[in-house]
Chain A
Amino acid sequence: MRTPFKKFLASGNVFIWGCAAGVSVSLLMVFGLLLLIMINGLGYFWTSDIVELTLKDQQHVTGQLAGREVIPRSVTPDRPEGRGRLRVKIGNRDLYGLDFKWVNDDQIVSQTYPADVVLLERREWGNMYGRIKALYKGETLLAAGNEGGWIALAPLISTTNALHQQITRIENIEIGSINAEIESARLKIRAFEMGNPSSPSPSTREGKEERSGPSGLLTTESTERGPIGNLEAQVADAESRYQQKTIELETLRAQFNEHSVVMVDANGREKQIPVGQIIRALRPNEMGLLHKSWTYLTNVWSVLSKEPREANTEGGIFPAIFGTVMMVIIMSLAVVPFGVLAALYLREYAKQGTSVRLVRIAVNNLAGVPSIVFGVFGLGFFIYAIGGTLDQLFFPERLPTPTFGTGGILWASLTLALLTVPVVIVATEEGLAAVPREFREGSLALGATKLETMIKVVIPCALPGILTGLILAMARAAGEVAPLMLTGVVKLAPSLPVDSSWPFFHFDRKFMHLGFHIYDVGFQSPNVEAAKPMVYITTLVLITVVVLLNFTAIILRNHLRKKYAGSVL
């Protein structure tokens, strides 16, 4: 036995198996990670049944099962080992203060799935589980009991949802544009005053004197008082329209909160909520597979298309997706010309020698410089140096509130462009190098200039390489967070960088980003436990984007290699 064992050791086979284990562990880590994110992320959209537990102390626990585990020793050091407990999402945060509850197996008397339990998805305080007791319009009773209430509730919810859309539209778009009008008029007034501190022109002097008068405000006859007067009239007009809108909003809100529903939980605790607070009412235990699948799809869609609620822990992630995409697009617009220019120079125009080799190494190594360093540079250079100067030159009337002198989507994109420019340079160079020499020589021999050779022969051939570089740069940019934290990403942006008010693209605006959303929701939100599903979903979306981009790059690269595989050398 001894000799074969020695022989076995000497053959080194066991070490080869050890190496194989390295591959296995790496593979397990990759797939395990993807699986973990998929299960947690995709599971969130599924509406699971509502369980009703009856405990030994005659208390009831209603909610969705969120997991089970063996009770860890740290919780019950003196208990016998191996007992389990259930984790139940009990919702009703406004009643209980907690979203989740642990229930030990040995406390449970019975476990049922009653068909009539209602799940209310609400705009605030998370889900509510319970039964309907009564439905009111103001003080008058509309329907009583779970069944009657359920039937009467459904049409009301669709009405309030429509109202909610209307209210949001008025608040965000109509009132928003009025505010923008007022703000821009005010800024023009300020700019005017600053531009003409002691102007000899009679019209402005008049305006100025009027301003420094005791009242400080213009009232009537403003049309005769020069440009400032006109602007003041504009402001007054906008303000009166604003008042009208506010009144309109008031009536809508009253309608919105007209109906209310009284819910009762399994232990008899009651809670009255306005129907306007309800987004959707479901009876998961009654739903068939088809209905649940449909709900699943609508859930996915609403996360992808809606705004976040409840400090980003609920609702959708649309602004983050939009911000990420916008940022990546602006970055691409900046990075491609510069990266291609530098690569063309290095590969086609510069004299190949030691200095170009050194530059190439430097460019290569820049890709290894930590991203936070680029963030610091972006903060110091783009925001404070360039942005600060821009503000002083073009937006002095807004100071001390900075316009470009603070983080914004433009600065973040440029910072990331700087970060990813080495990727584009390297990939483009690779693409250029793969274009066979004969192509160039053929073109030049036929009388084309170097520029024509570049534009018509070399660059089209190298296009897959350039695209590969761009896609890799996009994938890197989509996943970077650290530099963005310094250059303009925020947890909740009040408005998107693109909207309907002039000039449509607002490069100075702060924006939301999927990666930062993960950090913020997972680590900065007060209720991390309730926020976890949202983090997993965001992660899933981000990973999908990044992995898809990478796959595209790999396919393009292979395509490039195959295309020239025959002709190289």
Chain B
Amino acid sequence: MMWRHIFDQLAQVVITMGGIAVILSIIGIFIFLVKEVAPLFFPPQGTPTGHFSGTPPPEALPQSSLVGMDEYQEILYQLTAGSDHQIRFFNARSGTPMTHDLPSGLAKAHITSIARAVGSGNRFAFGTDDGHIIPVTLEFAASYEEGARHIVPTVTLGSPVQLTSPKEQIIRLAYQPTERNTLAVAMTDQGRLWYSATSVATAPVALTGHGTEPVTALIFDSRGETLSIGTAGGNLYHYDVREGTQPKLIETTSVAPAGTSVTALSYLIGDRSLAIGTSAGDVSVWMPTRQAQESLTTRFRLIHQFDVHPSPVTWISPSLRDKGFITGDTQGNLFVHYSTSAQTLLKFPGNHQAIRTLTFSSKADGAVALTDRGELLTYAIHNPHPEITLATLFKLVWYEGYEGPEHVWQSSSGADDFEAKFGLLPLVFGTLKGTLYAMLVAVPLALLSAIYTSMFMHPDIRAKIKPTIEMMAALPTVILGFLAGLWLAPLLERIFPAMVAMTVALPASVAVTAILWQYLPATFIRRLRPGIESFVLLPVIIGTVWICLSLNQPIESFLFGADYKTWFATHWGLRYDQRNALIVGFAMGFAIVPIIFSISEEALSNVPRHLIAGSLALGATRWQTLVKLVLVSASPGIFSAMMIGFGRAIGETMIVLMATGNTPIMDWSLFNGFRTLSANIAVEIPEAPHGGTLYRILFLAAVLLFVFTFLINTVAEVIRQRLRTKYSQY
């Protein structure tokens, strides 16, 4: 006897715990999804990690030092002008200098300037006091021994090239080796600018396009096609230096107010965006944009502006993996920026020692800077999703290569230097567009059917019809999607004119049938069960559709002249895609008809019968009773039915995936496709690496869908329950 009660108590506990666990796990789904999304919006983190002493840079020379580190951030290096120890290596953790024998070629050289080639790999050039440049490559070989990593640096020298006359010192230098060409431009202590390229077999040429303005910054793009020169007057001069041609000045842009000089230039990865720092502390990104829609000429324009440094910007270093870059100023401040989102992400305050040069680590997770007094500062930066802000997700963003700010979704491409475009708005738009067209098809059909089934149909017939229509809800949507994409889309493309005719012909044929019906003998009509109308109409509708289809070509000639596609293209400027919004409207409408039908039918049938009887008894016609009484009192239920149908259409994946072209464009046109949030998840998540930015954004899309449908359904459910209590009062 005891055991029975113990079991009973136990069961009580188990069922309660189990039940609560199941319910909690439902909440857990939401929490988990949010947890996966949250890191997108975590603020970036950064800490200064080290503070070591290196070689103080020679004061007088502007390009006298460069710093950097290897991929694993284990070794720091410093290149310094001078005649000995031009290259030094340090342990990045302890700051202890490492002994390393330099190639003998450097022993004889007196270095006066150093330039880093744009792009990946540690490629440099030294400029000497006798007009030579010496290419230098640093390599870091990693070897593994007993589980520990050892990194050994090697220095390789290229053969020196005579760039200017031996009497001139090179004090500014830009250098860019490409696959078949090596470019260099040098400014000498005499103020002259010499250009040389191995693809042009002439002696170095002097560049004079900038006039007498002092040159304050020089840079090539990584492909070696453009040379940009910044001056003390705040102007930027662009030379076209494509392979095999003489340099040609193509554009002059004023990028800073008069009296402010351009102090730092850097191309971001991809060579489209040029980051510019000025003596006023301004940091901005400029891009070549097309003047007009069809124009081929481009002009440099200011696209993004970033937080201003309190003192002149001294150096800019780009990230090698995204559109981020770091800047340093004369007070030692180091800022981290991101171009696409136009955000200054992090600010490391300085200690009033000017930053002479700095470098972003190759994985964009750290930085090293060199101060005036020769101190090496290292920083750790943690920012896995730099490009994501609410603004880049939902607002207009000016992307590279676009004529203006736009909403764009384009998550990946073949190229490494691609700017990912994560504008969710086109997808939200597509979701709403698909839902809207589906509702336009489904709501009239479902409501009319529900009204008729609940009000005018004999219960016996209703008992058969209702489950039949509800059975549609059980149809897997993949089947509807397949039929829409492979059967309906090509069919509709052929019979579109007949479709247009049907929109008029079908209601007309129904009206004609209604008129003719009343001339039938009353005794005959009385013998029929209510609900016969829908069966009488079956042959009428089939007949009308058949007539329209067989008259397809005459209708096309009559309505659209020759060809409806050309007609729409010329009259309304619309292009007809085979898989378009119309197809989705039909297929998804088909999918949500049973839901709307079922719920609104229930609402209509639950209107108390005695109210209807009262209305009819007072002499109202069936139609008047319906419009004035039944529809009014059931309207909350009908509204909630539409909400639930809406919620179902929003999240539908397979139909949209199969019945549209899945192009993320924003256009209300009936004749082109779109991409919805749900289809986008299905298309892109196989390519999204776990934990990456795209992965989290797709989770964000899922959260949006979850929240949206949950809210809609809750509102609908609450309305329905209220209605139920209201009716139960009668």
Quick one: which of B1-26 are within 8 Å of A by CB?
4-5, 7-8, 11-12, 15-16, 18-20, 22-23, 26
- In the assembled complex, how far is the CB of residue B718 from the closest CB belonging to chain A, in whole angstroms? 7
Instruction: Determine which residue in B444, B452, B621, B651 has the highest number of CB atoms from chain A within 10 A of its CB, and name it.
Output: B452
Whether a CB of chain A sits under 8 angstroms from the CB of B481 is yes
Q: By the criterion CB–CB under 8 Å, are A20 and B518 in contact?
A: no
Residue A363 contacts which of B26, B448, B593, B705 (CB distance < 8 angstroms)? Answer: B26
Contact partners of B469 in chain A: CB under 8 A: 23, 26-27, 30
Residue B624 contacts which of A12, A27, A451, A528 (CB distance < 8 angstroms)? Answer: A12
Interface-located stretch among A233-241, A275-283, A290-298, A336-344 = A336-344
Residue of A nearest to B718 (CB): A361
Q: By the criterion CB–CB under 8 Å, are B682 and A451 in contact?
A: no
- In the assembled complex, how far is the CB of residue A78 from the closest CB belonging to chain B, in whole angstroms? 11
A140 to B380, CA, bound (A): 79
A15 to B623, CA, bound (A): 8
Residue of A nearest to B589 (CB): A29
A543 to B556, CA, bound (A): 36
- In the assembled complex, how far is the CB of residue A357 from the closest CB belonging to chain B, in whole angstroms? 8
Quick one: which of B544-585 are within 8 Å of A by CB?
553, 556, 562-563
Contact partners of A19 in chain B: CB under 8 A: 448-449, 451-452, 455-456
Whether a CB of chain A sits under 8 angstroms from the CB of B477 is yes
Q: By the criterion CB–CB under 8 Å, are A523 and B471 in contact?
A: no
Contact partners of B563 in chain A: CB under 8 A: 73-74, 77
Whether a CB of chain A sits under 8 angstroms from the CB of B597 is yes
A370 to B714, CA, bound (A): 14
Q: By the criterion CB–CB under 8 Å, are B477 and A479 in contact?
A: yes
Residue of B nearest to A485 (CB): B682
Interface-located stretch among A247-255, A372-380, A503-511 = A372-380
Contacts A361-B714, A373-B702; A481 near B20 (Cβ below 8 A): no
Residue of A nearest to B147 (CB): A197
Contacts A17-B513, A361-B718, A363-B23; A452 near B553 (Cβ below 8 A): no
A458 to B681, CA, bound (A): 43
Q: By the criterion CB–CB under 8 Å, are A27 and B465 in contact?
A: yes
- In the assembled complex, how far is the CB of residue A238 from the closest CB belonging to chain B, in whole angstroms? 32
- In the assembled complex, how far is the CB of residue B284 from the closest CB belonging to chain A, in whole angstroms? 39
Q: By the criterion CB–CB under 8 Å, are B515 and A8 in contact?
A: yes
- In the assembled complex, how far is the CB of residue B567 from the closest CB belonging to chain A, in whole angstroms? 12
- In the assembled complex, how far is the CB of residue A126 from the closest CB belonging to chain B, in whole angstroms? 19
Contacts A18-B507, A362-B26; A370 near B705 (Cβ below 8 A): yes
Whether a CB of chain A sits under 8 angstroms from the CB of B42 is no
Whether a CB of chain B sits under 8 angstroms from the CB of A515 is yes
Q: By the criterion CB–CB under 8 Å, are A8 and B534 in contact?
A: no
Whether a CB of chain A sits under 8 angstroms from the CB of B307 is no
Instruction: Determine which residue in B26, B467, B511 has the highest number of CB atoms from chain A within 10 A of its CB, and name it.
Output: B26
Q: By the criterion CB–CB under 8 Å, are A370 and B445 in contact?
A: no
Quick one: which of A22-65 are within 8 Å of B by CB?
22-30, 33, 36-37
Contact partners of A349 in chain B: CB under 8 A: 12, 15-16, 19
Whether a CB of chain A sits under 8 angstroms from the CB of B177 is no
A36 to B32, CA, bound (A): 43
Whether a CB of chain A sits under 8 angstroms from the CB of B699 is yes
Q: By the criterion CB–CB under 8 Å, are B651 and A372 in contact?
A: yes
Q: By the criterion CB–CB under 8 Å, are A486 and B541 in contact?
A: no
Contacts A24-B534, A376-B685; A452 near B4 (Cβ below 8 A): yes
Whether a CB of chain A sits under 8 angstroms from the CB of B365 is no
A478 to B506, CA, bound (A): 37
Instruction: Determine which residue in B465, B510, B535, B709 has the highest number of CB atoms from chain A within 10 A of its CB, and name it.
Output: B510
Whether a CB of chain A sits under 8 angstroms from the CB of B474 is yes
Residue of B nearest to A523 (CB): B658
Contact partners of A421 in chain B: CB under 8 A: 22
Residue of B nearest to A549 (CB): B474
- In the assembled complex, how far is the CB of residue A312 from the closest CB belonging to chain B, in whole angstroms? 14
Quick one: which of A406-442 are within 8 Å of B by CB?
418, 421, 425
Q: By the criterion CB–CB under 8 Å, are A370 and B481 in contact?
A: no
Whether a CB of chain B sits under 8 angstroms from the CB of A146 is no
Contact partners of B511 in chain A: CB under 8 A: 14, 17-18
Whether a CB of chain B sits under 8 angstroms from the CB of A568 is no
Contacts A377-B702, A479-B474, A546-B474; A16 near B533 (Cβ below 8 A): yes
Residue A345 contacts which of B19, B33, B36 (CB distance < 8 angstroms)? Answer: B19
Q: By the criterion CB–CB under 8 Å, are B445 and A13 in contact?
A: no
Whether a CB of chain B sits under 8 angstroms from the CB of A350 is yes
Please give the number of chain A residues whose Cβ is less than 8 angstroms from any Cβ of chain B in the complex. Answer: 97
Contacts A14-B515, A361-B717, A454-B11; A372 near B487 (Cβ below 8 A): no
A479 to B513, CA, bound (A): 40
- In the assembled complex, how far is the CB of residue B183 from the closest CB belonging to chain A, in whole angstroms? 42
Whether a CB of chain A sits under 8 angstroms from the CB of B678 is yes
Residues 640-674 of chain B, each 1 if its beta carbon lies under 8 Å from chain A, else 0: 00001001101111100110000000000000000
Contacts A23-B465, A376-B681; A28 near B486 (Cβ below 8 A): no
Where chain A touches its partner, the secondary structure class is helix
Residue of B nearest to A348 (CB): B15
Residue of B nearest to A405 (CB): B690
Contacts A20-B456, A451-B11; A535 near B486 (Cβ below 8 A): yes
Contact partners of B541 in chain A: CB under 8 A: 21, 24-25, 28
Whether a CB of chain B sits under 8 angstroms from the CB of A364 is yes
A132 to B456, CA, bound (A): 66
Quick one: which of B40-93 are within 8 Å of A by CB?
none
Q: By the criterion CB–CB under 8 Å, are B510 and A29 in contact?
A: no
- In the assembled complex, how far is the CB of residue A346 from the closest CB belonging to chain B, in whole angstroms? 6
Q: By the criterion CB–CB under 8 Å, are B623 and A12 in contact?
A: yes
Contact partners of A375 in chain B: CB under 8 A: 681-682
A338 to B19, CA, bound (A): 8
Contact partners of A539 in chain B: CB under 8 A: 479, 482-483
Residue of B nearest to A362 (CB): B26
A49 to B447, CA, bound (A): 47
A8 to B535, CA, bound (A): 21
Residue B478 contacts which of A36, A338, A519 (CB distance < 8 angstroms)? Answer: A519
Q: By the criterion CB–CB under 8 Å, are B19 and A350 in contact?
A: yes
Instruction: Determine which residue in B12, B23, B451, B477 has the highest number of CB atoms from chain A within 10 A of its CB, and name it.
Output: B23
Q: By the criterion CB–CB under 8 Å, are A341 and B22 in contact?
A: yes
Q: By the criterion CB–CB under 8 Å, are A21 and B678 in contact?
A: no
Q: By the criterion CB–CB under 8 Å, are B19 and A30 in contact?
A: no
Residue A368 contacts which of B8, B487, B534, B648 (CB distance < 8 angstroms)? Answer: B648
Residue B33 contacts which of A21, A373, A542 (CB distance < 8 angstroms)? Answer: A373
Q: By the criterion CB–CB under 8 Å, are B36 and A380 in contact?
A: yes
Q: By the criterion CB–CB under 8 Å, are A372 and B468 in contact?
A: no
- In the assembled complex, how far is the CB of residue A471 from the closest CB belonging to chain B, in whole angstroms? 11
Whether a CB of chain A sits under 8 angstroms from the CB of B537 is yes
- In the assembled complex, how far is the CB of residue B620 from the closest CB belonging to chain A, in whole angstroms? 10
Whether a CB of chain A sits under 8 angstroms from the CB of B249 is no
A364 to B644, CA, bound (A): 11
Q: By the criterion CB–CB under 8 Å, are B8 and A449 in contact?
A: yes
Q: Could you name 17 residue pairs across A and B whose Cβ atoms are closer than 8 Å?
A: A8-B518, A16-B452, A16-B623, A20-B533, A22-B446, A23-B469, A37-B483, A345-B20, A349-B12, A361-B717, A362-B26, A369-B706, A370-B706, A372-B678, A377-B29, A479-B474, A480-B476
Question: Which residues does B use to contact A, with CB under 8 Å?
Answer: 4-5, 7-8, 11-12, 15-16, 18-20, 22-23, 26, 29, 32-33, 36, 444-449, 451-453, 455-457, 465, 467-469, 471-472, 474-479, 481-483, 485-487, 494, 506-507, 510-511, 513-515, 517-518, 533-538, 541-542, 553, 556, 562-563, 590, 593, 597, 621-624, 626-627, 644, 647-648, 650-654, 657-658, 678, 681-682, 685-686, 690, 698-699, 702, 705-706, 709-710, 712-714, 717-718, 721
3 closest A-B pairs by beta carbon, nearest first, are A370-B651, A12-B623, A345-B19
Q: A21-B506, A481-B654, A519-B482 are in contact. List 12 more A-B contacts (CB 8 A).
A: A10-B621, A17-B533, A25-B449, A26-B445, A27-B468, A341-B22, A348-B15, A365-B717, A370-B651, A372-B681, A376-B685, A377-B32
